[in-house]
Each structure stands twice: as structure tokens, then as C-alpha cells.
Amino acid sequence: MSELLIGSVAYDPKVVTIWEGFRAYLRAVDGPAIDYLLYSNYERQVDDLLSGHIDLAWNSSLAWVRAERAARAAGTEVLPVFMRDTDRDLRSAVVVRADSELTDVTDLRGRRIAVGAVDSPQSTLLPLSYLRSVGVEPGVDVEVVRIDVGVGLHGDHVGGERDAIVALRDGTVDAACVLDANLLMFAREGTVASGALRVLGQTPSFDHCMMTAGPGVDATALAQLTEAFLAMSYADAQVRPLLDLEGLTAWLPGRTDGFGPLQRAVDESGFYDEQGRVRARDYRP
């Protein structure tokens, strides 16, 4: 059986620790042999997945959308494999200062709103789609202040979101868009005082990252890998530190029905076309 090569975007130094740990775990449970290849951006990772240079990719939600579209256009397919429990049913929030006079997202007309990087699903694409759904057109009814930190990482680097919150805290914008879980983190770390912000509105729920299998992957090795990951237990002292680093308590089977909101946001913004080609202006991973 051949070794599986897995792609992962190196958004943080801990990525190496995580994958070295997973390799050790798989050896201990007599799982399939794996190696990993680190990428600086998701676009290159998706290209290599579709070309067969790697067997699997730990994809962002936006990378899944591109991979699925590009594979379909090429007459092949990519497969959802597994995802974190914390990747399911997420929401992003449009927040204002607690003392703001704004009471509804439609009150943002004529105001300034800070978002994350151009390729951030949770801080840019999905919140701006939400605004459109309530009749507030980004760039027309509201001025969008985009903070392009970590472009190419599809929002994995939360620097853009953090900077958006700082801009809101300092009063240079009227609202900001963040993943609601990150909003809690920013309060814990002291970026903004607890209770200083108020949620004005929330996006529909959506799913996030997913392990994706490329065309031609060894089916037996893939089944063994999936079984080994789904069997990881948070009660296992060897595995728990890795799961903590990766931000989950359990691996779950991959699903695709949670990507509908992002598919719509991608179409509305023109980020990718139906063939998965990048069409977003000013996008330079």
C-alpha cells in the first residue's frame, strides 16, 4: 500500500507539531503511512490536489468550494472525508460598539464596516452576503473597509478579524464582521473589553474546514485513514494535546450540505467562477 501524501496550509508553526503527532499516532495504531506537504496558500494546495501531486488536502471551506468546482469542470470529483466537530454549524456576527445607536443591520446604510481579508469566508464573504440578503449592498449602501492580513490563508489567520475589531474599538469604523467564536476569543485575550461590543446580526449557519480526497486516491488507504481519525478519542492522553492544538474534541464524517451559504457568497462576489478559476480582483496569495 502506498504512502498517502497530505497537503496542509502552514498558517501557524503548530501545523508541523500537529502533523508530526498524527504521523506518530497512525504508526502506533498500525494505520496507513502518511507524509505531509506544507503550503503557503490554499490555491496552490488545491491545484496540487487536482493534479494528483498530493492525495488529500486539509482544506478550508473556500478551498473545498474551489476544489469541488474545478473537479466537476474537469469531469472528475473530490471526496469529503472528515472534519472537526468544531467545523460544523458556525456563524459569523456583525458587531457594533455597545454604546452604538445602531439597532438593526439595515441601519448600517451610510456607515463604515470593517471586514477581514478578501479571501476570508467567515469575516468577509459570508457577512457581506448576509448584508446583501437584508438589502444592504456592500460598496454601495455601506463602505467596506477590508483588512488584508494573511491573504491566501482563507481566514485561518485571524489577524484581519482582530484588526477589524480594533478598528471598531477605536471608533474608526461603525461595525465589524467576525466569526462569533473569535469574538469570544478577542474578549478573553483583552483585545476588547468584555461587554464592550454588541451583536447586530448573524449569518446563517455554515461549515468550515474539511479533509478532501483527490481523484485517484488509494481507496483502501483512504478507508484506513478515515477509520483511524474517526476513532481518535479526546479521552486518550496521547491524542488530546493534538486535538487541542487542532481545535476539536472529535472528528466527524465529512458533509457537504453546510457549504451552501458559502457557495452563494462566492457566486455573488464572483470570487471563483463555475470552473473554480479565481476571479476576485486584488487577490494575491
Pairing of strands 175-179, 92-97: antiparallel
Crossing angle between the packed helical segments 260-269 and 61-73, to the nearest 10 degrees: 80
- What torsion do the CA atoms of 96, 205, 276, 134 make, to the nearest 10 degrees? -50
Q: Is the pLDDT of residue 1 over 60?
A: no
Task: Return d(Cα 149, Cα 142) in angstroms, integer.
Answer: 21
Q: Is the pLDDT of residue 109 over 60?
A: yes
pTM to 2 decimal places: 0.95
Asked whether the beta carbons of 157 and 45 are under 8 A apart, the reply is no
Band of residue 238 on the pLDDT scale cut at 50, 70, 90: confident
- Which comes out higher in pLDDT, residue 77 or 1? 77
> Would you give the end-to-end CA distance of the chain in angstroms?
35
Phi/psi at 16 (5° precision): -65, -45
* Tens digits of residue pLDDT in 212-231: 999 999 999 999 999 999 99
Q: Is the pLDDT of residue 47 over 60?
A: yes
